[in-house]
Structure 1
C-alpha cells in the first residue's frame, strides 16, 4: 500500500507537469495538420495532388522517431529524452519557416518530417506518466496527461490565426516559426520532471521475447484498435481543411474547425480515466469507435460549416475514447522490464498505419471526393468492433473456466 501511495504521488506530479508540456508540445501537430495541406497547396504548381504530403511526412517522421525516442530515453532518461524531442521541434519550426520563405515544397515536407520525429517523443508522455503509477491509477495518469491537449486545442489554432500572415505576402510562414516558440515553453516545463533512479538508469532489456508479447491476442486487439482509431482520425482530419476550403469556407473557418476537433480530442480526458475504471477499457474503446463512425454519418449529411464542425468534434471524442482506452489495454500486456520495447513497438505500429492513412488522404479526396472518403470509415470500425467482441468472448470463456 505504501509503495502505491508513493508511486501515485510521483505519478500525479509528473502527470501534471506532462499535461503542461502537452499543452505546448501538443499544439504543434495542430499547426502542421491545419496548415500543412494548405501550405503544400500554396507551394505547389498546377498539380495539387501532393498537397497533403507535408502532413504525411509529419506522420511518417513520427513513426520513424518511435524507436530512436525509446532508445534515447532508455539511455538518457525520460526527462532528457523529452527535452531532446522538444529541441527537434524548435529546429524544425525554423526550417519550415525558411522553406516556405524560399518557396521550397521538398524542404518544407522534410521539415515537417522532423516535426513528426519530435512528436514521437511527445507521444511517450502518456506512457511516462503510467510508468510510475499503481495499477489502479494508471488509466487516470494516462488520461490526466492527455488533458493538456485542451489548452493545445486553443493554443495551436489561435497561434495559426495570429501568426500565419506575419510575413505577408508569403502565407503561413509565421505559424511555423511560432512553432519554435511553443517548443521553448515545453522545454521549460519539462525541466521539472522527476523519475526514480530505476527510470533514468540504463537497464538491460528483460522479460519475455518481444514476439511472444505482441502475439498475445489482447495486444493484437489493443494495438489494432489504437492504430485504427488514430488512423481514421488522421485520415479524415488531414483532408478536412482542404475539403472545407473547396466548399467555399475560409482558412480561418478551417483553423477553428481544427480547434474544435482538438478540443474534442482532449477535453474528454478529464473523465476518460474514470469511465475506464467504471465500465472497463474495452467498452470505452467500443464507444470511441461508434463515435468515429458517427463523425462520418454527420459528414455525409451535408457540407455546411456546422456539418464539418460537428463531424470533427465527434472525430476528436471518438479518437480520445478509442486511443486512450486502447493505450490502457496495451499497458496490461507487459511487465515493467518489458515496457520500453513493447511501448515502442506499439507506437511504431500505430504510426506506421497512421502514415499510410495520412498519405492516402489527399489522394482519396482528390480522386473520390469528401463523401467516399468518409464511407471508408465504416468497414474499418466494423473490423475493430469485431475484434473487441471476440476479446470479450475469450475473456468470458476464461472466467467461466476458472470458476
Structure 2
C-alpha cells in the first residue's frame, strides 16, 4: 500500500469509530444536566457533570497525545475505548444508587474517552497529502452524523430500560458502544510517513504557540466549540423548564447533532475552494444567527432551529480551525501541537459548560444567547483579516 492508500483506509476505519465513539458525548451532554437536576442538591450544580465531561476532555488531551506518540494511535485508542466502557458503567451505577458525585466521576471518565475520540480527526490526516488532508478531517467527522442519530435515539429507547431508575439504560448503552468500537480500532494502520524520530523532535511547544496562525487556529476552535457547548449544555434544561418534554429536548439535541455533522460531506471541498479561514468565518456568522433565532421566542421551533443553525456554524468553524492547526506543525511536532490545541479547546468547554448552569439558573435562556455575540465578534475580525491577507496577490 502507498501512504495515500493507508490514509484512505484509515479514513474509513476512523469514520466507523467516530460513528460509535461519537455517540458518547451526545448522551452525556443531553442527559448530564437532566440527571444533575434530579440528583444535585443545589440547582446551580445541575450542569456540573457536563462540566466535568469537559474537564476530562481537556485534561485527557495532553496525556492521550503523549501515549499515542509513544505507543501508536491504535494502542492509544484501544485504551481510550476502555475508558469509554468504564465511564458508562460508573455513570449508570451512580444514577442507580442516586449518587450525584459518582455520576460526576462517570461523566469525567467519559471526557477522558472523548479526548481520544476527538483526536480521530487529526489521525485521519496522518499520511494524507494535499487536498486529501482536509477531506480526511471532514470525512471522519461524517461519522458523527451516525453518532448524532445513535446517541439521542439510545437516550429515548433505553431511558426507562431499568424500571424505577430513568437514564440508567442510556449510560449502559454508552458502555456497550465503547465496547463495540474496539474491534473496529484493531483495523487501524500506521502510515510509514508518520513514524517520528523522537518525542522531542521539531520546535518546542512554546515556539509553536507563538506562531500567529496557530494562535488564531486555537482561538477559533476554542470559541466555536466553547459556544456550542455553552448552548448545548443549557438547551435541554431550558426546554424542559419552558414546559417542553424530555423527548422534545432529546430530539432537539439530535437535530443539533445532525446539523453539526451533515455538512461534513462537503466542508472539505468548501475549504479547498474558498480557504479554511473563510469557511471558519462563515461558521462564526451562523453561530451569531443561531443566537438571534433563539432570542426570538421560546417555542419548540425556536429551540430546534437555533440549535440546527448552531450545529452548521460549529461544523464550518471547528473543522476549519482543525484544518488550520494541521497546517501549523510538522509530523514530529503534531503530538505537542494537537495536544495543546485540544487542551485549550476542551478546557474552555469545561469552563463554559459549568457557567451555563449558573447563568441559566440566575439569568435564564435569553442571557445564554446574548453572551454569544461578543466572542463571535472577537474572533471573526482576525479570521476575515487573515482570509483577505492570504487571498491578496503578492506585492511586486
Greater Cα offset, 87-96 or 194-203? 194-203
Aligned residue in 2 for 1:400: 394
Choose which of 272, 276, 282 in structure 1 pairs with 2:267. Answer: 272
CA distance in 1, matches of 2:325, 2:91: 35
Structure 1 segments unaligned to the other structure (5+ residues): none
Correspondences of 1:18-33 after superposition (within 5 Å): 18-33=14-29
Aligned residue in 2 for 1:229: 224
CA distance in 1, matches of 2:58, 2:188: 25
Task: Give, in angstroms, the shift of residue 131 of structure 1.
Answer: 1.3
CA distance in 2, matches of 1:257, 1:223: 28
CA distance in 2, matches of 1:396, 1:183: 43
CA distance in 1, matches of 2:214, 2:58: 19
Choose which of 34, 39, 43 in structure 2 pairs with 1:43. Answer: 39
Relative to structure 1, the CA distance from residue 180 to residue 201 in structure 2 (aligned partners, 3 Å threshold; closer, same or farther) is farther
Aligned residue in 2 for 1:344: 339
Aligned residue in 2 for 1:123: 118
Greater Cα offset, 113-122 or 347-356? 347-356
Task: Give, in angstroms, the shift of residue 167 of structure 1.
Answer: 1.5
Task: Give, in angstroms, the shift of residue 280 of structure 1.
Answer: 0.5
Aligned residue in 1 for 2:297: 302
Choose which of 90, 95, 101 in structure 2 pairs with 1:100. Answer: 95
Aligned residue in 2 for 1:386: 381
Contact 2:7–2:128 under 8 Å retained in 1: yes
Q: Normalising by the residue count of structure 1, what TM-score does the alignment of the two structures yield?
A: 0.95
Aligned residue in 2 for 1:14: 10
Task: Give, in angstroms, the shift of residue 394 of structure 1.
Answer: 4.6
Q: Normalising by the residue count of structure 2, what TM-score does the alignment of the two structures yield?
A: 0.97
Correspondences of 1:255-294 after superposition (within 5 Å): 255-294=250-289
Aligned residue in 1 for 2:362: 367
CA distance in 1, matches of 2:324, 2:194: 22
What is the total number of aligned residue pairs between the two structures? 396
CA distance in 2, matches of 1:56, 1:139: 30
Other structure's SS at 1:340 match? helix
Other structure's SS at 2:342 match? helix
When the two chains are superposed, the root-mean-square deviation of aligned CA atoms in Å is: 1.5
Task: Give, in angstroms, the shift of residue 336 of structure 1.
Answer: 1.4
Correspondences of 1:102-251 after superposition (within 5 Å): 102-197=97-192, 199=194, 203-251=198-246
Choose which of 36, 59, 62 in structure 2 pairs with 1:64. Answer: 59
Contact 1:101–1:170 under 8 Å retained in 2: yes
